[in-house]
Amino acid sequence: MRRRTIRGAALLLLLALAGSIGRGQTSTAVIDRVEEDWSLAIGTPNPDEIGPQITTCMSPVSDGSTPFVAFDLNYRDYPSFLSGGVQAKVYSGGSVVASASQDNDLLQTTGETITWTQRLSLTSANTLTYAVVNGQSTTWGAFGQGQGLSTLTFTANLSSLASYSPTTSVGNSGVGWQSNRVTQMTLTQVRYYSGGQLVATDTTSRPVDLAIGQ
pLDDT tens sequence across 134-179: 999 999 999 999 999 999 999 999 999 999 999 999 999 999 999 9
d(CA 34, CA 106): 29
d(CA 188, CA 169): 12
d(CA 121, CA 115): 20
Cα end-to-end span (Å), the chain: 14
Q: What is the pTM of this model?
A: 0.88
Confidence category of residue 60, pLDDT binned at 50, 70, 90: very high
pLDDT above 60 (res 9):
no
d(CA 115, CA 2): 25
pLDDT at 178: 96
Using alpha carbons, list the distances in angstroms from residue 211 to 114, 128, 162, 166, 208.
Answer: 20, 32, 31, 20, 9
At 84, phi and psi to the nearest 5? 75, 175
